[in-house]
């Protein structure tokens, strides 16, 4: 059924008169012939001049006798502005290069209009096609293996459904072999201690590992043996002078994995034997003890806290790297850690994964490995100008060559340098009322979203626009509600049937 008609405009800004009795929303998808258009603005239109309109309104407001217009539905109307979104040609989606016919009648899109959308290889389900606030039963997939290695940005302000989106994505990715994930979770929300989460997935036991300083049953302790710390892990997390840095490397060259404990135990005489001055040594020891919660007692380095330990958990980093390489999803609960420790631990693990993948590339074994995706919240902490050089920066710039990508979640995209934003080749844009943030996202999107500022501002919770080099057009989607997904997928509870031997 026709709900509007084209009455003018230009490419990217087609004017549509709304049929009376119909409602066109911002974000609505309308079809005409082989074209799908998306509404990006709405305004009033009238055949009467402004004085007549004001007079009419005055009479109504001031209580004059009943006033009515002849053929009101003809004289006053709603005007919608729309942009051609996609041109379906021979069953394939193309960037539109034409305008639809003048006076052409527009219809609401239906499921059949999206028959060209197929499920790609290594698919990652994102949601369903949305027209305004109406959801169509058309699933939206991207090639997950490709898209994840080319980085994904999730920009949104609070309350627009970021967590729900990441939970749904993680849920869908859990059984997928093509991708391993490291999820740094500063709010401890993805495992689902007290609500639905990854733990409820039927494949949780085989495919997910949960690390926490206070793990529940089945979870692993998140703590790092200091023998796994390397001097380069300190970069960006602790301010050292050149002399202190040299002292660190001096101890590393002599004691390798034991460098930190040997340094903390070393007397000033021993240090001077390596050419390190007393003042340097004392200040360095103080900084390192403070940073890693360590102290020296009876000639032994002992931990004061729960995160950095001297005994046990030797293989934590290797175990996590191996799990990710095996396509598992590893969640790190960093909610109880100060930010510097969170980023230090996340950096050490990510660095090891990245180095390993670089070596796979050198050996020609990369294509046999699953893509690795590192999920980082409040991304400007590591990707912002002030974050300095770190492994996340490095991955953002060159990770895709090595099949390692980021899923960067942020409220402040504008704090991330433009070239990094541009490298994030898939953006799942949720609602955002801040114009400066919308501008940053629009300026770096894979498709031209210059007309979509209002559209993005009006996105409700769970509504999003996917702009990606892996989609033919910027697809408006409705993200599933996580609790519904869990309930649907876990409806049939398996009977526990234990075959015990031993």
Partner 1 sequence: MVKFSHLADCHLGAFGRNPTLREYNLRAFEEVIEKSIKEEVDFIIIAGDLFHNPHPDMDIVDRAVKSLVKARKKDIRIYSVYGSHDFNIAKASLVDVLESADLFKKVVRYLNESQSLEHVEDRSGVKITGLSGRKSRKDTSYYKELNFIEPDGDAIFVFHTPVAEMKPVDIHEKETVPLSSIPDGYKYYAGGHIHRNLREEKDGSPIIYPGVTFGSSYTDLENDLDRGFYIVDDWEPKYVPIDVCEIRRVNIDADGLLPSELEEELLDLSNGEIHEEVVLVKVSGVLREGVPEDIDFMRVRRNIEEAGAETVFLNRRNLEGKDVERLKIKEKDDAEIEDTILDEYGFNDLVNKKFAKDLLNVLKVEQGDGETNTDYDDRIWQEAWNLIDNLDEYEDVEEEESDVREKAVEEVEKKDGVGEKKGQKGQFSLSDFGGD
Question: What is the length of the chain?
Answer: 502
Q: What are phi and psi of 381, to 5 degrees?
A: -60, -35
175 touches partner 1 by CB under 8 A: no
Task: Give, in order, the Cα–Cα distances in Å from 45 to each of 42, 50, 74, 224.
Answer: 10, 11, 10, 66
Choose between 39 and 209: whose C-beta lies nearer to partner 1.
209
306 touches partner 1 by CB under 8 A: no
Task: Give, in order, the Cα–Cα distances in Å from 12 to each of 8, 23, 82, 220, 417.
Answer: 11, 21, 7, 53, 28
193 touches partner 1 by CB under 8 A: no
496 touches partner 1 by CB under 8 A: yes
Choose between 65 and 367: whose C-beta lies nearer to partner 1.
367
List of residues 6+ apart from 396 with CB closer than 8 A: 151, 383, 406, 408, 420, 423, 424
Of the candidate residues 205, 398, 484, 487, the single one contacting partner 1 (CB under 8 A): 205
Choose between 159 and 216: whose C-beta lies nearer to partner 1.
216
Of the candidate residues 25, 119, 311, 419, the single one contacting partner 1 (CB under 8 A): 311
493 touches partner 1 by CB under 8 A: no
318 touches partner 1 by CB under 8 A: yes
Q: Which residue has the tokens 């999820």?
A: 183
Q: What is the nearest approach in angstroms of partner 1 to the Cβ of residue 186? A: 21
Stretch that binds partner 1, among 105-113, 184-192, 212-220, 436-444 (CB under 8 A): 212-220
305 touches partner 1 by CB under 8 A: no
Q: What is the nearest approach in angstroms of partner 1 to the Cβ of residue 358? A: 18
Choose between 40 and 199: whose C-beta lies nearer to partner 1.
199
494 touches partner 1 by CB under 8 A: no
Choose between 20 and 315: whose C-beta lies nearer to partner 1.
315
221 touches partner 1 by CB under 8 A: yes
Q: What is the token pair recorded at 298?
A: 């009876």
501 touches partner 1 by CB under 8 A: yes
Q: How far apart are the first and last CA of the chain?
A: 70
3-class DSSP state of 364: coil
Contacts to partner 1 from residues 91-130, by CB under 8 A: none
The Cβ of residue 74 has, within 10 Å, a number of other Cβ atoms equal to 10
64 touches partner 1 by CB under 8 A: no
Q: How many residues bind partner 1 (CB under 8 A)?
A: 25
Q: What is the token pair recorded at 347?
A: 């950096």
Nearest to 147 by CA among 174, 125, 166: 125
Stretch that binds partner 1, among 131-139, 164-172, 306-314, 457-465 (CB under 8 A): 306-314
Q: Could you tell me how far CA 32 lies from the centroid of its own chain?
A: 34
The answer to whether 197 and 189 are in contact (CB under 8 A) is yes
Task: Give, in order, the Cα–Cα distances in Å from 430 to each of 170, 392, 425, 438, 464.
Answer: 17, 23, 16, 10, 5
Q: DSSP letters along 217-277, please?
A: TT-EE--EEGGG--GGGGTTTS---HHHHHHHHHHHHHHGGGHHHHHHH--HHHHHHTT--
Q: What is the nearest approach in angstroms of partner 1 to the Cβ of residue 318? A: 6
Of the candidate residues 315, 339, 359, 436, the single one contacting partner 1 (CB under 8 A): 315
Q: What is the token pair recorded at 52?
A: 């007549």
Rounded Cα gap, residues 261 and 251, in angstroms:
10
Of the candidate residues 24, 109, 316, 375, the single one contacting partner 1 (CB under 8 A): 316
Stretch that binds partner 1, among 32-40, 219-227, 230-238, 424-432 (CB under 8 A): 219-227
Q: What is the nearest approach in angstroms of partner 1 to the Cβ of residue 237? A: 22
Interface characters, 364-403, with partner 1 (x: CB under 8 A) = x---------------------------------------
Calculated CA dihedral for residues 256, 257, 261, 264, nearest 10 degrees: 40
Stretch that binds partner 1, among 175-183, 270-278, 315-323, 390-398 (CB under 8 A): 315-323
Interface characters, 351-370, with partner 1 (x: CB under 8 A) = -------------x------
Return residues touching partner 1 (CB under 8 A). Answer: 205, 215-221, 223, 227-228, 311-316, 318-319, 364, 496, 498, 500-502
């Amino acid at each position: 059924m026709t709900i509007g008609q084209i009455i003018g405009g230009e490419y990217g800004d087609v004017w549509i008169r709304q049929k009376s009795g119909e409602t066109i929303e911002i974000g609505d998808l309308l079809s005409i012939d082989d074209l799908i258009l998306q509404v990006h603005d709405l305004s009033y239109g009238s055949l009467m001049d402004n004085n007549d309109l004001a007079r009419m309104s005055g009479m109504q407001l001031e209580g004059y006798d009943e006033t009515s217009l002849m053929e009101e539905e003809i004289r006053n109307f709603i005007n919608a502005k729309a942009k051609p979104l996609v041109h379906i040609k021979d069953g394939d989606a193309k960037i539109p290069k034409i305008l639809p016919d003048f006076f052409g009648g527009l219809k609401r899109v239906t499921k059949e209009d999206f028959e060209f959308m197929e499920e790609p290889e290594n698919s990652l389900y994102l949601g369903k096609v949305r027209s305004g606030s109406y959801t169509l039963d058309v699933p939206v997939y991207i090639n997950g293996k490709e898209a994840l290695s080319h980085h994904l940005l999730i920009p949104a302000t609070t309350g627009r459904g970021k967590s729900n989106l990441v939970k749904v994505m993680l849920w869908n990715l859990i059984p997928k072999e093509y991708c391993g994930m490291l999820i740094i979770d500063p709010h401890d929300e993805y495992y689902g201690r007290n609500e639905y989460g990854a733990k409820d997935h039927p494949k949780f036991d085989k495919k997910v590992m949960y690390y926490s300083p206070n793990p529940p049953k089945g979870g692993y302790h998140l703590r790092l043996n200091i023998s796994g710390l390397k001097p380069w892990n300190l970069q960006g997390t602790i301010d050292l002078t050149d002399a202190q840095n040299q002292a660190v490397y001096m101890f590393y060259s002599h004691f390798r994995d034991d460098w930190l404990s040997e340094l903390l135990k070393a007397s000033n005489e021993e240090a001077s034997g390596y050419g390190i001055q007393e003042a340097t040594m004392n200040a360095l020891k103080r900084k390192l003890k403070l940073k890693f919660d360590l102290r020296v007692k009876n000639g032994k380095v002992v931990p004061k806290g729960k995160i950095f330990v001297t005994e046990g958990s030797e293989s934590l980093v290797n175990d996590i790297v191996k799990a990710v390489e095996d396509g598992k999803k590893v969640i790190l609960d960093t909610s109880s850690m100060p930010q510097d420790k969170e980023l230090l631990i996340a950096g050490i693990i990510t660095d090891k994964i990245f180095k390993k993948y670089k070596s796979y590339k050198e050996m020609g074994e990369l294509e046999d490995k699953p893509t690795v995706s590192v999920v980082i919240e409040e991304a400007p902490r590591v990707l912002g100008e002030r974050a300095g050089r770190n492994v996340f920066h490095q991955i953002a710039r060159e990770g895709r060559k090595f099949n390692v990508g980021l899923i960067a979640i942020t409220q402040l995209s504008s704090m991330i340098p433009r070239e990094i934003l541009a490298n994030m080749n898939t953006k799942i844009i949720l609602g955002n009322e801040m114009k400066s943030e919308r501008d940053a996202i629009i300026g770096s999107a894979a498709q031209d979203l210059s007309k979509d500022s209002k559209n993005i501002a009006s996105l409700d919770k769970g509504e999003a626009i996917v702009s990606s080099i892996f989609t033919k057009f910027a697809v408006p989607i409705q993200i599933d509600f996580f609790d519904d997904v869990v309930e649907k997928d876990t409806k049939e509870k398996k009977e526990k049937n234990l075959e015990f031997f031993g």
